[in-house]
Structure 1
Amino acid sequence: MNTVAPPQSGVVDPRTARRITLAGCVGIFAELYDNGIFGFMAGTLATVFFPDSKNAVLLVFVGYAISFFFRPLGAIVCGQLGDRIGRQRMLVFVILLISAATAAIGVLPPYTAVGAAAPILLILLRVLQGFSVGGEAAGAMTFLAEHAPAGKRGLYTSYAQIASFVSLLTGTLIAAWMNAGLGAARMEAFGWRIPFLLAVPLGITGIYIRRRISDTPNFSRLRAEGGLSRNPLKEAFSSPRHRRAILLALFIPLLNGAGYYVLFTYMPTFMSKILHFSSVQGLLVTAVALVSISIAIPFAGALSDRIGRKKVIAGSAAAMAVLGVPCYLLIATGNVGLAILGASVMAVVFAGHTAIIHILLVELFPTRVRYSAYGLGYNVSSAVFGGTAPLLMTFLIGQTGNTTIPAFYVVLTALGTLIAVSRVIDRAHEPLRDA
C-alpha cells in the first residue's frame, strides 16, 4: 500500500495537502449525501414505506431521528479505537460502513412486498448509518486539524464543511432531477432506489483515497513516544478539565443542530408540505442557500485563524438570534425571490458557526483523548438537538399551525450557543496539545 508521509514541522507540500484534504472530506461528503436524499424525498419514502399511515412523513422523520441516538455509540467505539490504533484506520472503516448502509437502503423491499418488515429494515439501516457517522465527523475533523500547518487549522477544517454542504446539494439535486425526469409514479416504483445505490462508487472512491494517506503527525509522534492512552474515554472523564470540555462540546453546537437540520435538511419538506412551494421552487431556494454557505465557509475559517474561533462563532450566533425570525418570515411569504433572500442571509450567517465549530472543539482536547471525548460530546449534541429537529418541527407545526416555529427554534439555539461559547478559552493561536 502506497502512503503519503505525514507533514513535518507544520510544512505541507501542495500535493500532500490536497490528498490530506480530500481524504478528510470524502467521508463527510458520503455522510451528508444521504441527508440530502432523505430531506428531498421524504414524501416519496413515506409512500413507499408507510403507505397506510396518515402521518407517513412524520414517521419518516422518526426513523431519521432514531439514527441520531446511535451516533454517540459510534463516537464511543470509533473514538476509543481511533485514539488507540490511529485516525486513518478508523476513517477507512467508517466510510465503508456509511456507504454500505446507504446502498443497502436502495435494495430494500417496499411495504407492499413485505409489510411492516420494510420500515423496520429502513430504520435498522438508518441506525447503522448513525453509528458510522458518529465515528466519521470527529475522526475526519481530528485528522484534518492534526495535519494542518500552524496558523491554518481553521481554514483546513472548513474544507470539510464545504464538502458537507456540497454533498447535501448533490443529494438534493440528484433526487430532484430524478423526480422531475421519472415522475411520482416511477419514483415510487423504482426511482427512489437509484440515489441510494450511488453510494457504492462513492464509497469505493473514498476507501481508495483514505488507504493511501498516513496517520497524523500528532498521533504518530505520541505513538512513537509510548504516550497513547489505554482507555481514552475513561481518562477524559477522570479529569475535571476534560469533563468541562465535554460539556462545552455538548452545548456549543446547539446552533449547529438547528441551523443545519432545520435550515437545510428540513427546508425542502417545510417548503413543499407547509408553504406549498413547487418542487422546483423549493429546490431553487435550497440550492442558492447551499451555494451561498459553501462560498462563505472558507472565509469564516480563515477569519477564525486571524481573530480567533470565539469571536467568529459568537458573532454568528448573535446575528442568527437577531435575523432568524425576519428571514423565516421572508421564506414564509411564498415569494420565491424573498425566500431565496431569507434563506441565503441565514446561510451566510450560519457559515460563521459551521465553519468553526469543529476546529474549536478539536482544540479543547489533547491528542490522547481528542477523538473519543470530542466525538462523544458533539454527537450527543447532534442526537438531542439536531436529528430530532425535523421531527419536532413537523410535529409542532402540525399541532399549532404556526409556520414560524422553525425560526424560534433557530433563535433559541443561537442564544444557547452564544452563552456556551462565552465560557471557552480560545486556543486558535496555540499548538494542539498532545496531553
Structure 2
Amino acid sequence: MATLAAQPVPNAVDSRTARKITLAGCVGIFAELYDNGIFGFMAGTLGTVFFHDSKNAVQLVFLGYAVSFFFRPLGAVICGHLGDRIGRQRMLVFVILLISAATAAIGVLPTYASIGIAAPALLILLRVLQGFSVGGEASGAMSFLAEHAPEGKRGLFTSYAQIASFLSLLTGTLFAAALTGGLGADRMESYGWRIPFLLAVPLGITGIYIRKRISDTPNFLRLREADGVSRNPLKEAFTSAEHRRAMLLALFIPLMNGSGYYVLFTFMPTFMSGDLHFTKVQGLLVTATSLVAISIAIPYMGRLSDWVGRKKVIAGAAIAMAIAGIPCYLLIGTGSVPLAILGACVMAVIFAGHTGVIHILLVELFPTRVRYSAYGLGYNISSALFGGTAPLLMTYLIDKTGSVYVPAFYAVLTALGTLIAVSRVKDRAHQPLRDA
C-alpha cells in the first residue's frame, strides 16, 4: 500500500480497449439518465395521469422527481462500498439492471383513475429505486472510465460519458415530444405515456450485455493484487482529514448542476410552455438545440482540461455563467424563438465547461481505495440538495414571486458557489491517479 501510494502507476491502455470501455460507460449512463428527459417533457401529462384531481399536479410530479434524489446518497454508500470492495464492473452491471427494471415498471403502473392514491405512491417508490441506482451509477461509471483512460486523456475520455447523459436527455425529450405530437393529448393520457418508459427494456439489455463483457479497471486490479483493498472505504474516508475535505468539495463544486442540467435542460420545456407561453414544440426546439450545442462543446472542454487543468476550465465556466446567466434568460424571456435559442445555446456552451470536467476533477480528488464511495457520497448529496430539488424550487418560487427570472438568479448564485468551492481545489490533472 505504501508503495502504491508513493509511486502512482500511469495506465497503458490500448486504443481498442479504451474505445470498448468508453462505450460500456456511455451506454450505461445513457440508459440510467434517459428517464430525465421523459419527466422533463411529460410533467403535465404525468400530472394528469397520476394526480388527476390536484390543482398542483405539475409541482407534485416534480416533488416525486425530487424525492428520488434523496436516495441517491444511499445508493452511493451501498454501491460505492461494494464497488470499492469487490470491483467497479460488477456494481455497474447491477445498477443498470435495477434502473432499467424500475423505469420499465413505471410504464406498466395503474393510473390514479384505476387505483387512486396508490398510483402516485407506486410512482414515487419506483422513482426511489431509480434514485438509488443513479447514486451508484454516477461515481462508479466515472471512476471506471477514468481508471481505464490513457494518461493525459482522462478529461477527454470521461467527457464522453457526459455527452451520453445529454444525448439521453435529448432522446427522452424528442421521443416524448414525437409521441405527444403523433398521438395527441387524449391518447397520450390514455396509453401513450407508457411507451417511453418501456423503451428502458431494450436499453437496459444492451447496457447489461456490454458491461458484462468488460474487465475491471487496472487500478482496482492492481490494488487487489497488492492486498490493498479497503475493508471499510467510507469509514476510512471519514477518518482522513484530506478525504473529508475532498468530500466537502465534492458537495459544493457541483452547485452549477442545479441551474444547468436540472433547470436549463430538465425543467426548461415545462418552464417555457407553462410560464413563458411558448408552445410545446417551440420549447422542445429551444431545448433540443441547446442539448446539441452542449454535446458538441463537452469533449472540447474535457480535452482543454487535460491541457490547462480542471480548475481553470471550471472556474472560467463559473465566471462566464455568473456574467451571462441573466442576459441569456432575458433573451429566452423575449418570447422570440431565435433569441431563446441563442440564450439557451450560450448558456449550454458555458455549462459544458463545468459538466464536461466536474466528474474527472472529483475522481482525481480520491485514491482508488475509497474513490467510488467517497466521491459518490459527496456528489450525490450535492445532487439531492441542489440538483433534483431545482425544478420543484423553480416552480414554487415562480408561483410565489410571479417572476419568470428566478432561474436566472439561481444560475448566477450557483455559479458563484461553484467558483468559491473550486478555488480551494488542488489540481491533479497532470498527475497519475493514486491507488492508495
Normalising by structure 1, we get a TM-score of 0.98
The structural deviation recorded for 1:426 is: 0.2
Question: Which letter maps to 1:131?
Answer: F
State the alpha-carbon separation in 2 of the partners of residues 265 and 60 from structure 1. 13
CA root-mean-square deviation: 0.8
The structural deviation recorded for 1:263 is: 0.4
Where does residue 112 of structure 1 map in the other structure? 113
Where does residue 166 of structure 1 map in the other structure? 167
State the alpha-carbon separation in 2 of the partners of residues 395 and 31 from structure 1. 27
Q: Deviations over 1:277-310 (max 9, x none)?
A: 1111011000100000000000000000000000
The structural deviation recorded for 1:14 is: 2.8
Matched residue of 1:236: which SS?
helix
Where does residue 54 of structure 2 map in the other structure? 53
Matches within 5 A, 1:131-150: 131-150=132-151
- For the pair 1:129 / 2:140, whether they are aligned, the reply is no
Matches within 5 A, 1:272-291: 272-291=273-292
- For the pair 1:103 / 2:112, whether they are aligned, the reply is no
Question: Which letter maps to 1:298?
Answer: P
The structural deviation recorded for 1:9 is: 5.7
Q: Deviations over 1:186-237 (max 9, x none)?
A: 0000000000000000000000000000000000000011000000000000
The structural deviation recorded for 1:47 is: 0.3
The structural deviation recorded for 1:32 is: 1.5
State the alpha-carbon separation in 2 of the partners of residues 48 and 178 from structure 1. 16
Matched residue of 2:207: which SS?
helix
Matches within 5 A, 1:175-214: 175-214=176-215
State the alpha-carbon separation in 2 of the partners of residues 206 and 158 from structure 1. 19
Matches within 5 A, 1:152-163: 152-163=153-164
State the alpha-carbon separation in 1 of the partners of residues 370 and 124 from structure 2. 31
Question: Which letter maps to 2:242?
Answer: R
State the alpha-carbon separation in 2 of the partners of residues 203 and 272 from structure 1. 31
Where does residue 310 of structure 2 map in the other structure? 309
Higher deviation after alignment, 417-426 or 256-265? 256-265
Higher deviation after alignment, 27-36 or 298-307? 27-36
Runs of at least 4 residues off by over 2 Å: 8-15
Where does residue 40 of structure 1 map in the other structure? 41
User: Quick check: 2:35–2:197 contact (8 Å CA) kept in 1?
Assistant: yes
State the alpha-carbon separation in 2 of the partners of residues 276 and 195 from structure 1. 26
User: Quick check: 2:11–2:218 contact (8 Å CA) kept in 1?
Assistant: no
The structural deviation recorded for 1:15 is: 2.2
State the alpha-carbon separation in 2 of the partners of residues 206 and 387 from structure 1. 24
Q: Deviations over 1:372-411 (max 9, x none)?
A: 0000000000000000000000000011110000010011
State the alpha-carbon separation in 1 of the partners of residues 201 and 61 from structure 2. 23
Where does residue 232 of structure 2 map in the other structure? 231
User: Quick check: 2:143–2:371 contact (8 Å CA) kept in 1?
Assistant: yes
The structural deviation recorded for 1:31 is: 1.8
Q: Deviations over 1:102-125 (max 9, x none)?
A: 000000000000000000000000
State the alpha-carbon separation in 1 of the partners of residues 153 and 10 from structure 2. 13
Higher deviation after alignment, 188-197 or 273-282? 273-282
Where does residue 246 of structure 1 map in the other structure? 247
Matched residue of 1:333: which SS?
coil
The structural deviation recorded for 1:17 is: 1.6
Matched residue of 1:266: which SS?
helix
Matched residue of 2:313: which SS?
helix
Question: Which letter maps to 1:254?
Answer: L
Q: Which runs of 5 or more residues in structure 1 are unaligned? A: 1-7
Q: Deviations over 1:320-360 (max 9, x none)?
A: 00000000010011100000000000000000000000000
State the alpha-carbon separation in 1 of the partners of residues 138 and 27 from structure 2. 11
State the alpha-carbon separation in 1 of the partners of residues 241 and 375 from structure 2. 15
Matched residue of 1:226: which SS?
coil
Matches within 5 A, 1:359-398: 359-398=360-399
User: Quick check: 2:10–2:433 contact (8 Å CA) kept in 1?
Assistant: no
State the alpha-carbon separation in 1 of the partners of residues 226 and 385 from structure 2. 38
Question: Which letter maps to 1:234?
Answer: K
User: Quick check: 2:254–2:382 contact (8 Å CA) kept in 1?
Assistant: yes
Q: Deviations over 1:43-102 (max 9, x none)?
A: 000000001000000000000000000000000000000000000000000000010000
The structural deviation recorded for 1:33 is: 0.5
State the alpha-carbon separation in 1 of the partners of residues 125 and 324 from structure 2. 38
Matches within 5 A, 1:334-349: 334-349=335-350
- For the pair 1:326 / 2:356, whether they are aligned, the reply is no
User: Quick check: 2:306–2:429 contact (8 Å CA) kept in 1?
Assistant: yes
State the alpha-carbon separation in 2 of the partners of residues 413 and 31 from structure 1. 25
Sequence identity of aligned pairs in percent?
A: 81
Matched residue of 2:228: which SS?
coil
Question: Which letter maps to 1:167?
Answer: S
Matched residue of 1:430: which SS?
coil
Where does residue 293 of structure 1 map in the other structure? 294
Normalising by structure 2, we get a TM-score of 0.97
Where does residue 223 of structure 2 map in the other structure? 222
Q: Deviations over 1:223-257 (max 9, x none)?
A: 01100000000000000000000000000000112
Matched residue of 2:424: which SS?
coil
Matched residue of 1:252: which SS?
helix
The structural deviation recorded for 1:12 is: 2.7
The structural deviation recorded for 1:10 is: 2.9
Question: Which letter maps to 1:60?
Answer: V
